[in-house]
Amino acid sequence: MKLVVIGLGYIGLPTAIMFANHNQDVLGIDVNEKVIKELNTGKIHIEEPGLQAELDRAVQNGTFKAGLVVEPADTFIVSVPTPNKNDALKSCDLSYVLSAVTNILPILQKGNTIIIESTIAPRSTEDHILPLIESTGLIVGKDVFLVHCPERVLPGQIIHELIYNNRIIGGVTPACTEAGKKIYSAFVQGELIEATASTAEMSKLMENTYRDVNIALANELVHISAELNINALDVIGMANKHPRVNLHQPGPGVGGHCLAVDPYFIAAAAPEQSRLIQDARHINASMPDFIVANTVALMKQQRGKKIAVFGLTYKGDIDDIRESPALEIYDKLKKAGTFNVVAYDPHVQADFVEPSMEKATVDADMVLILTDHTEFRSVTGFDLANMRQMIVLDTKNIIEEKITIDSYYNLGNIASIYDTEQMAIEAS
């Protein structure tokens, strides 16, 4: 079987390579010429454990190549971005998906299957993509097959989860579902769950919305506990000892191209019926401002001048900065111009990122931890010895040895910033 995978990002590229390593002839398509050149010389352009080795296998077997132009194939998989529109409820922008499908139409043949892996708003497959395909005169479910198969993988574990996670196969018709199951059975060992396209769309969105809402509850607890001078992390730890309670962990916000984006697609599709989802989005989207405000308060209290920001990605041990609250916080602090702000992230290569922890912390007054990279777990006061003041605000509660740090704050004891500030005022 020949497959064309359109969009070689964090999901499209691993998907293409997995098919290639399971005896399928795969052509990967992307608009970025640099990405195509790198892949055709055997180099991946994203950070994902095990993916380089998988590409090496595919290249050696001759089952994968990358290009800029779509070619005839048996199956077309669309895995392109679906950003938010700039409207009131940040609805789903389908333009990249529709453009990809439009590029397939001139070479579409009877018996072909089109699979949409991109995360899309409810009813997008049936209301927007289906009419576009049938404008060719081909009938979906009879001449060609249309399926929505959302990805369900965790960055850092994509290779494993592509194989072993259950997979939703959302066909426009039963025949479409069967076609999708046949394709993914090439390598998926998890259950192939039959669904309609619309049900598959909503299931994917609700999986991420569930997590967003529960993180919002934890973040709201931080706000409440700070107001009442209660340690929110202690509350979560105790509450989670109840056998039927599992509060999520709070943080500086929610990022990535799932949790920070998908709930809006539901809210835009049914605004009057999605109040809780919208409130949760508001809470999580407000966390960067909350962190900035507390950072500024602590720096002013200590008459600090330099902040070393640790972590720019939206989650630990990856290089993905899409929708990252950490990057948003860094940008807000930088643009304010009040302090010297230096970024350090061992997973991000950029001109503005200091590659050395030692240099990033020279004469710093605060380390602001925004990402839970493994490298930050073992940070001690000895690693921060060249700071002017050894103050740490750890929004991910990741540092394991806190005792060697002079002043340590997290989202549990963040209210003590203001206690200290008030005591300083009274003492003066």
pLDDT tens for each residue of 29-38: 999 999 999 9
Q: What is the rounded average pLDDT of the residues 327-346? A: 96
Sheet bearing 145-148, strands edge to edge: 64-67, 25-29, 2-6, 75-78, 113-116, 145-148, 167-171, 192-196
Has residue 144 got a pLDDT over 70?
yes
Q: For the domain bounded by 199-428, which CATH number is listed?
A: 3.40.50.720
Which residue ranges does the chain devote to CATH 3.40.50.720? 2-190, 199-428
Q: What whole-number distance in Å separates Cα of residue 382 and Cα of residue 174?
A: 62
* pLDDT attached to residue 30: 97
Active site residue 258: yes
* pLDDT attached to residue 222: 96
* pLDDT attached to residue 416: 87
> Residue 228 burial by CB count (10 A; 0-12/13-18/19+): exposed, middle or buried?
exposed
Q: What whole-number distance in Å separates Cα of residue 247 and Cα of residue 225?
A: 15
Q: How many CB atoms lie within 10 A of CB 299?
A: 22
Which residue type occupies 347?
H
* pLDDT attached to residue 428: 37
Find out whether 113 and 128 touch, Cβ atoms under 8 Å: no
pTM of the complete model: 0.91
* pLDDT attached to residue 404: 85
Of 166, 132, 128, the C-alpha closest to 150 is 166
pLDDT range class, residue 343, cuts 50, 70, 90: very high
Has residue 424 got a pLDDT over 90?
no
Q: What is the rounded average pLDDT of the residues 150-160? A: 91
Q: What is the rounded average pLDDT of the residues 320-334? A: 96
What is the Cα 173 distance to its own chain's centre?
A: 31
> 217-229: per-residue pLDDT in tens?
999 999 999 999 9
Find out whether 80 and 100 touch, Cβ atoms under 8 Å: yes
Catalytic position from the list 204, 306, 315, 396: 204
Q: What is the rounded average pLDDT of the residues 277-283? A: 97
Q: What burial letters (b/e) apply to 85-100, b meaning 16+ CB within 10 Å?
A: eeeebbbbbbebbbeb
Has residue 423 got a pLDDT over 70?
no
Residue with tokens 């060609």: 144
Q: What whole-number distance in Å separates Cα of residue 310 and Cα of residue 326?
A: 9
Catalytic position from the list 92, 149, 176, 258: 258
Of 291, 324, 279, 20, the C-alpha closest to 159 is 20
Tokens of 359: 């240099």
Which residue type occupies 167?
R
pLDDT range class, residue 419, cuts 50, 70, 90: low
Has residue 355 got a pLDDT over 80?
yes
Q: What is the rounded average pLDDT of the residues 132-144? A: 98
* pLDDT attached to residue 417: 85
Has residue 145 got a pLDDT over 80?
yes
Which CATH architecture group holds 2-190?
3-Layer(aba) Sandwich (3.40)
pLDDT range class, residue 426, cuts 50, 70, 90: very low
